[in-house]
Structure 1
Amino acid sequence: MSEAGGPGGRAEIHHQHRDVTGGWLRPSVFGAMDGLVSNFALIAGVAGGTSETRVIALAGIAGLAAGAFSMAGGEYVSVASQRELALAEIAVERREIAHSPEAEEQELAQLYEQRGVTPDVAAEVAHQISRDPERALYVHARAELGVDPADLPSPRLAAFSSFLSFAVGAALPLLPYLFGARQLWISAVVSSVALFAAGAIVSAVTARSWWYSGLRQLVVGAVAAALTFGLGTLIGASGL
């Protein structure tokens, strides 16, 4: 065992980080939350204006389908645009490394100096990295653009994750009506439990406690549903 703490002078790694750059987490979380809250609010709003369970269920189904396709399409276009922009900037960096390697090496050395590395060491590190154009491209992209050229977000993954998670979330407040329920409170109970559980699950990948995340999500969903129910009641009472 060397002084560095591992064989051959390599430092031992005593911890691992979770993936914070993948293209699936944000659309999945956002899709499930949005599906659950928006469809519960939609069902509550329609239920406030009519007691016809067939109409309420139809509204819930339409909300699920429209929301899921909309979320998937929006995520695909958004992530595809983000990816295309990153690829365009990476291509610029690749050309600069090919046509002006000395200038790029100096730029890399300056980046290390700005991070507190002494000029001599920064110049040597930049020189060694710049020997391999692909490695230099990777380092420049991470340092200047904040992206990994080999691990850019996938538009298809983002779209699929968003579609599936929204559909699952939106189905929960709808299920009681599909199984014959005729009162809104049954859907409200299912939705409330799901909202709290979804918030608690999200806490596993955040720094928040499970009860705080669960309660926050429950309050957000309940407020949205209450406001929409009130609006539906007003419209239903007006006879529109």
Structure 2
Amino acid sequence: MEKGVYHFTGIGGFGMSALAQMRALAGLPATGSDRDFDAGRNPETRAALEALGIRIFPQDGSGVTAAPAKVVASTAVESSNPDLARAAELGVPVIHRSELLAEHVNFSRAVAVAGTSGKSTVAAMIFEILDFAGLKPSIITGGALLSLKAKGLLGNAFAGGSGPLVVEADESDGTVARYRPALGVLLNITRDHKEVDELRGIFSAFAANCGEMIASADDPEAAAIKPAAGSFGRSATG
């Protein structure tokens, strides 16, 4: 990862705060802004981020200077946002949250958990098993793990060391197809953010990029994505 400052616009969101924490836990500089913080909302999240050394700015562009290597934003951030306007004015690159997550996945020994539902639960289970085995795993997820909250963290991110990185791979914006994990886990495919036909294409691309793939045999759509994959579930035969 680049050593310059990364500024996270909308840092209070679960996906953004996880990435900001990973950067801070790696000893790299991170700053952020969030409208909820400006309005006095979500003080617990702000305090947890600041405890890691992440400086929080008002979301008025003041946190974006020529110093940041990048500004990170999500789809929820409007193009008219003051931080993005300031970045354009200064020529600071803006990247999507999913691009940064893909960097973590593609340059780590990653386990990416995908599917319409159950991702946070299964990612947490995998992390806890690896941690119990002493493998020093890391995690980036959309849920809060109680074991991590007990450490004073938000619970959605942890940098464990040299072990595998477990990530929750969100399909809502289609960027899951950018991930190239060592192991992919596909739980299910049902209509949610997108129609099933579109999801088949997204998850097929995801499966093709995985070093190894495990799919749920209980879900016909997931099982059909990559028939040669290892499978799990009541109907699994191998």
Q: Same fold (TM over 0.5)?
A: no
Scaled by the length of structure 2, what TM-score is found? 0.22
Scaled by the length of structure 1, what TM-score is found? 0.22
Compare relative contact order (CA 8 Å, sep 6+) and give the higher one, 1 or 2.
Answer: 1
In terms of fraction of residues, the more helix-rich structure is 1
In terms of fraction of residues, the more strand-rich structure is 2
Quick check: which has more Rg, 1 or 2? 1
